[in-house]
Amino acid sequence: MIRTLWSKYSVVVAFVVIFVAASILSPNFLTQGNLLNILSQVAITGIIALGQTVVILAGGLDLSVGSVLALVGAVGLMCLNASGSGLVAILATLAGGLVAGAINGLLVAKARITPFIATLATMAMARSVILYMAQGGTVSGNIESYSNIGMGSLFGLSYPTYIFVIATVVMFLVLHWTRFGRYVYAIGSNERAARLSGIRVDRIKVWTYVVCGTLTGLAAVIESSRLDSISSSSSGINYELDSIAAVVIGGTRLAGGKGSIAGTFVGVLIMEILNNLINLLNVSPYLQGFVKGAIIIAAVLLQRREA
């Protein structure tokens, strides 16, 4: 009993411990401004991590999210400049993410390429395409109001925060309330059994990548509008690793079948609080990666207790 409770809520316990520790260590941590800042910072990786969770739950993996974010973000800005319409830009960015996801999904489910390899390839390809299109430089938007999406706020909370929270709730409902969600868990838990139960395994797998790609597109909207530009060489770098780290810290099993959106939400927050704390305590930012790595190891070791 205690074991199942622990396995279910160890992430939450870890979160509370880290939160309390951060409040004690730095007087600036528990201020409204700082907390809002954390939520706002976390939106982009957080939204990608939601999609990554779905893919991983079904036994897959998506390494292409960072490159895809840069590519479709830049494409969105080009559409913005060409059309002058923010709506067109948003739709183009989302559609680009969707298409990229569909390509990943088809490579994995239909061409039967291991997810790691398939998305490693598309990661390289997406990055290359945007580098070529921007000639290694930066794509900028020339309509100022577009940056409202990334920078604007309502009742003290930034728009990205709202988008992240809403996306989390939607994905939570999708996984727990829809057939698609059930099939995702079933495939990750036992793909053979899923096939034999009459689930269209390949189709569902494609959809998981489409969901992940579209959410990456959503993250790209925020990223491109926040700075009003996308750097073809540096935007989205390491986002795939951050999103996977958040999923793992959140207690989702990398082999699939086990985990939750709520876990990923907390996992993202844990990562960001630690980054934030490093800043507040004036620790060298170069140590962020070390702390992140330590957290991943600690998370996996803590969760192993369940067995």
- Residues within the interface to another protein (CB under 8 A): 177-180, 182-183, 185-186, 189-190, 192-200, 257-258
**86 or 181: CB nearest another protein:** 181
- Nearest distance in Å: CB 163, another protein: 23
* CB closer to another protein out of 39 and 98: 98
Using the minimum distance from each CB to another protein, give the nearer residue, 88 or 174: 174
Q: Which helix or strand (DSSP H or E) is residue 60 part of?
A: none
- The rounded distance, in Å, linking the Cα atoms of 92 and 168 is 22
* Smaller CB separation from another protein, 179 or 304: 179
Asked if residue 105 lies in contact with residue 229, where contact means CB atoms within 8 angstroms, the answer is no
Q: Residue type at 140?
A: S
Least separation in angstroms between CB 235 and another protein: 34
CB-facing half-sphere around the CA of 284: CA atoms within 13 A: 4
Query: Least distance from C-beta 197 to another protein, angstroms?
Result: 5
- Closer residue to another protein in complex, CB, 15/185: 185
Cβ closest to another protein, residue 41 vs residue 253? 253
Q: How far is the CB of 53 from another protein (least distance, A)?
A: 16
For residues 242 and 45, the answer to whether their CB atoms sit within 8 Å is: yes
In the complex, the smallest distance separating the C-beta of residue 200 from another protein, rounded to whole angstroms, is 5
Q: What are phi and psi of 83, to 5 degrees?
A: -100, -25
DSSP state of 258: -
Nearer to another protein, 121 or 174 (CB): 174
Tell me how far, at minimum, the Cβ of 251 lies from another protein, in Å.
Answer: 12
Instruction: State both tokens at 102.
Output: 């569909």
155 three-state secondary structure: coil
Contact present, 217 and 96 (Cβ < 8 Å): yes
- Quote the least distance from Cβ 201 to another protein, whole Å: 9
Collapsed DSSP state (helix, strand, coil) of residue 157: strand
Q: Which of these, 61, 256, 264, lies nearest to 168 by C-alpha position?
A: 264
Alpha-carbon distances of 276 from 28, 30, 39, 152, 161, rounded to whole Å: 10, 11, 11, 21, 16
Contact 50, 244 (CB under 8 A): no
275, 254 contact by CB (below 8 A) = no
Shortest Å, Cβ 179 to another protein: 5
Q: Which is nearer to another protein, 195 or 227 (CB)?
A: 195
* Three-state SS at 33: helix
SS3 label, residue 11? helix
